[in-house]
Amino acid sequence: METPNEAGSLPVLGWVFAALLLMIALICWVAGSGKIAPNGAVGLRIPPLTRSTSAWKAGHAAGVAPASIAFVVALVCSVVGLFAPPAYWGAVAALVGGLIWVIAAAVRAANAATG
């Protein structure tokens, strides 16, 4: 049997994970458009994207679609979770799957951009 504290943490995670995916999508969009140059604070800080400015832009631009799709999935799961709490697990899965998808797409695009 779940305690009240355990039952309350999953909905919070669902909404927080949806918000994190939205933030990732926005950062990818802004960095992919060149408004955020390579830096040590904001953006996907993985080696293939830090090789050059073109890799940075291409990698982030490629991450926009996967992050946006994962955000929508997490958002829908969180809304459905208001009525059927097990749906919050979909938001958790969307974050994990979305991050893997974003990183894979970003690395592929960054490697293509650097030749």
Read off the pLDDT of residues 8-51 as tens digits, 9 standing for 90 and up. Answer: 788 999 999 999 999 999 999 999 999 999 998 999 999 999 99
Amino acid 4: pLDDT: 44
Range of the structural domain that residue 82 is part of: 9-113
Amino acid 19: pLDDT: 97
Percentage above 70 pLDDT, the chain: 93
Q: Which two tokens stand for residue 29?
A: 């969009």
* DSSP three-state, residue 100: helix
Q: Is residue 1 part of a domain?
A: no
* DSSP three-state, residue 13: helix
To the question of pTM greater than 0.75 for the whole model, the response is yes
Q: 17: closest CA among 64, 58, 72, 65?
A: 72
Q: How many domains does the chain have?
A: 1
Q: Is residue 85 part of a domain?
A: yes
Amino acid 44: pLDDT: 94
Amino acid 8: pLDDT: 73
Amino acid 102: pLDDT: 98
Question: Residue type at 80?
Answer: V
CA gap 40, 83 in Å, rounded: 41
Q: Is residue 98 part of a domain?
A: yes
Amino acid 3: pLDDT: 46
Q: Is residue 80 part of a domain?
A: yes
Q: Is residue 3 part of a domain?
A: no
